[in-house]
Amino acid sequence: MEQTVDAAKKIVVVGGGKMGEAIMKGWISCAEGAAEPIVASNIQVVEPSPERRAFLTETHGVACVEDVLQADGADMVVIAVKPQVMAAMLSNLVKNEQLSPAGASAPLFVSIAAGQTTAGIEAQLGGKPQLVRVMPNMPLAVGAGASGVCGGAFAQADQVAYVAELFDCLGKAVVVDESQMDTVCALSGSGPAYVAAMIEAMRDAAVSNGLDAELAEALALQTVLGTAQLISSTNASVAQTRESICSPGGTTIAALEAMYAAGFDEVFKAGIDAAVARSKELASC
């Protein structure tokens, strides 16, 4: 596929926080795929904190500026700021003639802001900006992310596909309709916190039954990691894997029956429902 954005050219990452750092670090270290041509010398990060700017330059070799008004022209602008500061940042971005969507060499915009719709961002940018929205999650920092990708009103299909390829270099990326993005945010975006909370609950239950806390946490963590690897490396479905572990009348069946009776399914549905609702609230702010 022909790339709409030349990855060897300039990328501006607006926001040098954990997620912005994880994305650029992953792309820089990628040895194959769409991100392979990306190098540190072609990335500029907009980050207001002087300490953070110094860290990013020293650690990753990227150039940093304090404000988006100071950013150079780019082929792609990755918007990685918190939703609460999005409006002010976009206002300044439009004032930067080198990055403005109204400019002669307007970049491709990629937003990872939770709850911020493409229509809302497009309205603030003005004109007909080519915008792709991505909902990633933190495991992309170790090359194991899960990202949902959708295009705005003016983005071309090959641009959406290219961004999906870039994020696929950081784990797994899927193209979805924007109407599904709130659910993607609730499922995979927030999901790592659910998994961490589940590991904590497994640990605490084991401790209450006499196991050392450190040992219990290590075993719980390895169990979750190993199960995910087992499922992803075989042709068995999640349900088939669960069923294969459950012996009739055994301990696993007893545990699952107790968990379901205590509301196991309902707990996760309640959490994802709440996250979907909050994502929609953020979009209306």
Residue numbers of the domain that contains 174: 11-182
Same domain, yes or no: 16 and 118: yes
Q: In angstroms, rounded to a whole number, what is the distance separating the alpha carbons of residues 36 and 246?
A: 43
Same domain, yes or no: 139 and 217: no
DSSP-assigned states of every residue in 63-102: EEESSGGGPPP-SEEEE-S-GGGHHHHHHHHHH-TTT-TT
Q: Given this model, what pLDDT does residue 5 score? A: 52
* 191 phi-psi bin (left φ>0, alpha ψ -120 to 50, beta other): alpha
Same domain, yes or no: 177 and 210: no
CATH number at residue 215: 1.10.3730.10
Q: Given this model, what pLDDT does residue 6 score? A: 54
Domain end call among 134, 161, 182: 182
Same domain, yes or no: 241 and 151: no
Q: Number of structural domains, the chain?
A: 2
- From first to last of its 285 residues, the chain has per-residue pLDDT tens of 344 455 557 999 999 999 999 999 999 999 889 999 999 999 999 999 999 999 999 999 999 999 999 999 999 999 999 888 999 999 999 999 999 888 777 899 999 988 889 999 999 999 999 999 999 999 998 999 999 999 999 999 999 999 999 999 999 999 999 999 999 999 999 999 999 999 999 999 999 999 999 999 999 999 999 999 999 999 889 999 999 999 999 999 999 999 999 999 999 999 999 999 998 887 776
Asked if 244 and 230 touch (Cβ cutoff 8 Å), the reply is no
Q: Taking the mean position of all CA atoms in its chain, how far away is CA 146?
A: 6
Q: Is residue 148 part of a domain?
A: yes
Domain end call among 182, 216, 238: 182
* 131 phi-psi bin (left φ>0, alpha ψ -120 to 50, beta other): beta
Q: What's the predicted TM-score (pTM) here? A: 0.90
Same domain, yes or no: 167 and 222: no
User: What is the bridge-based pairing of β-strands 43-46 and 11-14?
Assistant: parallel
Same domain, yes or no: 157 and 209: no
Domain end call among 152, 182, 212: 182
What residue type is 213 in one-letter code?
A: A
Residue 197, token pair as written in the block: 């909370």
Same domain, yes or no: 43 and 158: yes
Q: Given this model, what pLDDT does residue 269 score? A: 96
Same domain, yes or no: 108 and 242: no
